[in-house]
Amino acid sequence: MSKEKHVRHISNEGPILSIDTDELFENNPERDKKLSQRRLARERVLQLLFSHAINERDTDELFGELIKSDVHLEEQALEFARQLLVVYNLHRDAVNVIITERLSNWDFSRVALVDKILIQIGILEFMYFPEIPPKATINELIEIAKDFSTEESGKFINGILHAVKEDLQSKGELHKEGRGLIEQSS
């Protein structure tokens, strides 16, 4: 199967954007040193899933190239990234259904890829990482969106994740423990 080297995005509001699929997001080692390990792991998973979506490369292969080989990630962060990728591969379709249910008058395929991935990561953390507080998940993903997506992305991601969190809470499907316990005020 032949792969296109460039992906072209057509916008009604501007020029055609061409993304070289061999390139990844630029990482800044000085910036990376200042980030928490979990934040850095989330960013690397975002990069991996973006690359996977664009060029359909195997996620295990990408894990070795993008995450396991990252000298800035400590063992605990590597394990978090590995677990996040495992639950993504197992539950992506179900998570996409949850997202689609939250999109009023908007087609899932039109959501920006980075935003989609960040929302997927957020829902997975809500459902499969009981030790992570939902508020921490939302705040981290909004911050990552500021670095990797558009100015409006943070608001969009916050709105979707907050609605999903509320829905999971009301259904009794949000199970948190330890540091992940939900405060009454959140």
* Domain architecture of the chain: domains with CATH: 6-179 (1.10.940.10)
1 pLDDT band, cuts 50/70/90, is very low
H-run or E-run covering 101: helix 75-102
pLDDT higher than 60, residue 12: no
> Hey, what are 52's tokens?
């996977």
**pLDDT (tens digit per residue) in 13-38:** 444 333 444 445 567 778 888 889 99
User: Who has greater pLDDT, 82 or 107?
Assistant: 82
Contact 38, 81 (CB under 8 A): no
Helix (H, G, I), strand (E, B), or coil: what is residue 19?
A: strand
- Give the pLDDT band of residue 8 (cuts 50, 70, 90): very low
Mean pLDDT to the nearest integer, 66-71: 89
The answer to whether residue 184 scores a pLDDT higher than 50 is: no
Q: Mind listing the pLDDT tens digit for each residue in 95-131?
A: 999 999 988 777 888 899 999 999 999 999 999 999 9
> DSSP secondary-structure letter at 182?
P
What distance in Å separates the CA atoms of residue 47 and residue 1, rounded to the nearest whole number? 23
Identify the pLDDT of residue 40: 94
Give Dmax over CA atoms of the chain in angstroms: 53
Segments in 103-174 forming alpha helices (H): 113-128, 134-148, 153-170
Q: pLDDT band at residue 9, thresholds of 50, 70 and 90?
A: very low
pLDDT more than 90, % of the chain: 62
Q: Are 47 and 24 in contact (CB under 8 A)?
A: yes
Residue 26's pLDDT is what?
A: 66
Judged against a pLDDT cut of 70, whether residue 186 lies above it is answered with: no
C-alpha span between 151 and 50 (Å, rounded): 19
